């Protein structure tokens, strides 16, 4: 069985963010056939085409490292019924310059997580719109909306909710199949 290298892109900057805790829980699940690594997006300057003349080092590193991943798992909160600016900025930086997108063709999945009751539904679907344009085949089912996140973790930030752990495990197994399917289709 091939092992897929998956970039974890977390749309939250807060040190104790629930989304960062979900990313940590995913790395700890150790799903066979998948290796997860966090990709930092908080240090990317806001996209401005004028900066393409002398590309910021963080942009260049980001653009250089992303192609080495087989797939991307986005984990995002919801801000004002959309994705946080830091995540949208990462999408923009990675999609430029025109015709050289690091996202194109990469299988993707989305987990949205919030302290509220809707599971960051709006952000999840708004992100899907951008991923369609970026040509990222995105896992459709199961959908992953994690609500009431404050109740999912213990005092040390470890995922304590067993039903969420089981769901994430099954979600990742499905994502692994999705990655394999889409990588095989690219070969044809």
Residue 30's pLDDT is: 82
The yes-or-no verdict on residue 8 having pLDDT over 90 is yes
Q: pLDDT band at 20, cuts 50/70/90?
A: very high
* 149 vs 157: CA distance, rounded Å: 11
Average pLDDT over residues 131-138: 97
Is residue 18 within 8 A of residue 115, CB to CB? The reply is: yes
Is the pTM above the cut of 0.85?
yes
The yes-or-no verdict on residue 120 having pLDDT over 90 is no
* DSSP H helix total and E strand total for the chain: 5, 5
Q: For the segment 49-108, what is each residue's pLDDT rounded down to a tens digit? A: 999 999 999 999 999 999 999 999 999 998 888 899 999 999 999 999 999 999 999 999
Intra-chain end-to-end CA distance of the chain, in Å: 19
Is residue 75 within 8 A of residue 22, CB to CB? The reply is: yes
Coil, strand, or helix at residue 186?
helix
The yes-or-no verdict on residue 188 having pLDDT over 70 is no
Q: For the segment 141-178, what is each residue's pLDDT rounded down to a tens digit? A: 999 999 999 999 999 999 999 999 999 999 999 999 99
The yes-or-no verdict on residue 114 having pLDDT over 90 is no
């Amino acid at each position: 069985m091939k092992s897929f290298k998956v970039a974890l892109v977390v749309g939250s900057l807060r040190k104790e963010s629930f989304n960062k805790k979900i990313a940590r829980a995913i790395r700890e699940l150790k799903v066979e056939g998948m290796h997860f690594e966090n990709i930092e997006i908080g240090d990317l300057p806001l996209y401005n085409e004028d900066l393409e003349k002398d590309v910021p080092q963080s942009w260049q590193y980001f653009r250089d490292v992303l192609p080495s991943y087989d797939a991307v798992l986005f984990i995002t909160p919801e801000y004002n019924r959309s994705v946080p600016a830091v995540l949208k900025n990462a999408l923009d930086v990675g999609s430029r310059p025109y015709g050289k997108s690091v996202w194109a063709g990469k299988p993707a999945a989305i987990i949205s997580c919030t302290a509220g009751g809707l599971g960051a539904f709006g952000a999840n679907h708004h992100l899907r719109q951008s991923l369609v344009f970026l040509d990222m085949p995105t896992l459709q089912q199961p959908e992953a909306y994690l609500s009431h996140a404050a109740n999912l973790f213990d005092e040390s930030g470890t995922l304590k909710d067993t039903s969420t752990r089981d769901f994430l495990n099954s979600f990742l197994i499905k994502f692994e199949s999705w990655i394999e399917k889409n990588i095989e289709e690219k070969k044809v």
